[in-house]
Structure 1
């Protein structure tokens, strides 16, 4: 069987579905999404769902700003609940990073992000019982919080289908099809069927390099395993602010269940893994280190205990920032390497990709499409924070 469409999106996770939704909102093009399993069943389902705008790269901060606006109005925009809870977001730093924090907050305000520097007393009111004496400064985003990546991806899919997008599950892509001139002309499916397309969007996360390689494209993406703990604190913690602890290099937030989701912000010694064959449980050493950090930060927890744990893989690039834009292979578009930023910026990723695919330029003045170009690595011009944090630069 052979089919034809304007744009094929390989990957039915959060980013692929955000792009499908945005293209459908623009109208005038036929879009087909191909997912090898079920929608959002890969790394999307492992996302922590943090919503924050605190980045040292202005384009990323602006994309997170626009993402938060979509999440907070999802019922009206997407016609579905995405599990967003506006609990606010706090980041705390030590003295070595206080100047960077103040510079980032000033930059965020220029972008129209609601954020303020707050003192120890204000944080103590927002997070009672937290040890704060080793922090030098804090920033607070009232519009931050957390959502559910699976629900968000399914909401993108629902709206995209309503607007005419074809979404096929259980449809693995075996290879990109290359024409006589070296350009991409479509995809070949696992069952031997072909789909011809004017453009192919590669949005398959940690699995993207194996598809890009045979087309002559070496994607600088590695699967970095990240572990998550769910901690019962002895009392429900549902609507506390998301907290980024850049002294202990840890983050945590409340779960709808009342447990505390605890993650890692120390990427100095990354663990790379097989995305189809890694342990889905936290290692004993990770548990010991992170519970120690949590005990230090929240000493008043009445009865802390591990409720559960899991792990996922970030699709990381050398600069820990995404690649969004045309590949150096004609008719191939990349939306890969999200490096842990994917949830919060996903609505803006959809919009930027649709702009570039249909118009060749970003329509959002504060989002510079050139920041995310594939060629930056070969040029030796990685995308890095203007105001990096010592010890936590990779994810900021």
Structure 2
């Protein structure tokens, strides 16, 4: 028996457990089918930015920075956050959208500004920048380690009294007369609870569907490539290139992590059985983009590749919401945004559990927006890269 059961020990589930424990709600059980952070969390590229046209996401990402910057004090652990800064560049069709988005971000407290080509040339020596028309800069941005962050959330919650059960898959959410009553585990054990939070990424879908609740998620496979650029780069910031539709950041000692920003066409996948590496076509595309943007990397080599899965909603924004079943809450469909907003997600889930007021507009993330046809979209979409902004 517990006051709250959280299904899923990934980043969002343990962030919710931590947030609840921070409010003194510690009669909480987290059920993770494998180990903490073993799903999509461990495949995150870890980008930290507040550059969102959806201002609620921008504000959540900005607040999350307070946790990342002070993780040793807040969580009691180094979570691998490296505050290198974050730069985004756009072509001429997106200049107006960039400037409008920056104004909206500043209005909710984000520290961001437009900078010039010469500034970016100093930040990223050797980058070809002539096809960009405008740039934005976030000095508080950077990258972190989602797996280490999940472990830190879990350890802090456990120290406060939360029970985290690994190798504990949940088979069913139990419902009686329209109200949640707990969960049934795969081995037949039941855990009674007045509140159940389903935060199991793509595996959330069948748990809700069993009770007639549709969670519109497509699982998308996304590859990551780690590169040795063949030359020292120094302390470069994260670079989001919305002309070539790629992003790059430092990785390890002297390496570079490459990610794709073109999600106009999804690659559906089975989250339990997908290709865990980049394909030859993906590597060819990576080489073309990098050789265009960094023409001096003639000796660059690929050191490794891997792949993860995004749980993508129709508007590429998460569901953090109550459901039609009393006491059943869902936090899923993060569509690639989950790491950078995870501390704020935990806070919002705790608000939903307790029924208290929230500093986040919870209606933005309501599940019913899909059936209502009221998708959560940026008012300043970027041509060619609107899905991730």
TM-score, normalising length: structure 2: 0.98
Q: Equivalents in 2 of 1:306, 1:66: separation in Å?
A: 35
- 1:257 Cα deviation from its structure 2 partner: 2.9
Aligned to 1:356: 352
Match of 2:385 among 385, 389, 392: 392
Q: Does residue 285 in structure 1 map to residue 281 in structure 2?
A: yes
Aligned to 2:196: 200
| Per-residue Cα deviation, 1:41-68 (whole angstroms, up to 9, x for no partner) | 1110000000000000010000000111
Q: Does residue 185 in structure 1 map to residue 181 in structure 2?
A: yes
Q: Equivalents in 1 of 2:80, 2:130: separation in Å?
A: 33
Q: Equivalents in 2 of 1:195, 1:236: separation in Å?
A: 54
Q: How big is the alpha-carbon RMSD for the aligned residues of Structure 1 and Structure 2?
A: 1.0
Match of 2:120 among 116, 120, 123: 123
| Per-residue Cα deviation, 1:173-225 (whole angstroms, up to 9, x for no partner) | 0111121x132211000110000000000000011111111121121011111
Aligned to 2:9: 12
- 1:302 Cα deviation from its structure 2 partner: 4.8
The runs of 4+ residues in structure 1 deviating greater than 2 Å are 235-239
Task: Report the 3-state secondary structure (helix = DSSP H, G, I; strand = E; otherwise coil) of the residue aligned with 1:374.
Answer: coil
**Range with bigger deviation, 156-165 or 213-222:** 213-222
Match of 1:347 among 335, 339, 343: 343
Residues 78 and 159 in structure 1, CA contact (< 8 A), matched pair in contact too: yes
Task: Report the 3-state secondary structure (helix = DSSP H, G, I; strand = E; otherwise coil) of the residue aligned with 2:136.
Answer: strand
Q: Equivalents in 2 of 1:383, 1:268: separation in Å?
A: 17
- 1:238 Cα deviation from its structure 2 partner: 5.9
Q: Does residue 151 in structure 1 map to residue 148 in structure 2?
A: yes
Match of 1:71 among 68, 72, 87: 68
Segments of 5+ residues of structure 2 without an aligned counterpart are none
Q: Does residue 44 in structure 1 map to residue 37 in structure 2?
A: no
Residues 237 and 260 in structure 1, CA contact (< 8 A), matched pair in contact too: no
Q: Equivalents in 2 of 1:221, 1:177: separation in Å?
A: 22
Q: Does residue 315 in structure 1 map to residue 305 in structure 2?
A: no
Residues 232 and 307 in structure 1, CA contact (< 8 A), matched pair in contact too: yes
| Per-residue Cα deviation, 1:7-29 (whole angstroms, up to 9, x for no partner) | 00000000000000000000145
| Per-residue Cα deviation, 1:334-358 (whole angstroms, up to 9, x for no partner) | 1000000000000000011111211
Residues 282 and 311 in structure 1, CA contact (< 8 A), matched pair in contact too: yes
Q: Does residue 91 in structure 1 map to residue 88 in structure 2?
A: yes
Aligned to 1:22: 19
Aligned to 2:242: 246
Query: Are residues 28 and 276 of structure 1, via their aligned partners in 2, closer, same or farther at CA, if it must alter by over 3 Å?
Result: closer
| Per-residue Cα deviation, 1:371-394 (whole angstroms, up to 9, x for no partner) | 000000010000000211011001
Q: Equivalents in 2 of 1:293, 1:52: separation in Å?
A: 22
Q: Equivalents in 2 of 1:35, 1:331: separation in Å?
A: 20
Query: Are residues 169 and 105 of structure 1, via their aligned partners in 2, closer, same or farther at CA, if it must alter by over 3 Å?
Result: same
- 1:331 Cα deviation from its structure 2 partner: 1.2
Task: Report the 3-state secondary structure (helix = DSSP H, G, I; strand = E; otherwise coil) of the residue aligned with 1:383.
Answer: coil
Q: Equivalents in 1 of 2:115, 2:42: separation in Å?
A: 33
Q: Equivalents in 2 of 1:351, 1:28: separation in Å?
A: 12
Q: Equivalents in 1 of 2:62, 2:174: separation in Å?
A: 37
Q: Does residue 368 in structure 1 map to residue 361 in structure 2?
A: yes
- 1:269 Cα deviation from its structure 2 partner: 1.1
Residues 26 and 161 in structure 2, CA contact (< 8 A), matched pair in contact too: no
Q: Does residue 269 in structure 1 map to residue 265 in structure 2?
A: yes
- 1:114 Cα deviation from its structure 2 partner: 1.1
Aligned to 1:32: 29
- 1:359 Cα deviation from its structure 2 partner: 2.5
Segments of 5+ residues of structure 1 without an aligned counterpart are none
Task: Report the 3-state secondary structure (helix = DSSP H, G, I; strand = E; otherwise coil) of the residue aligned with 1:303.
Answer: coil
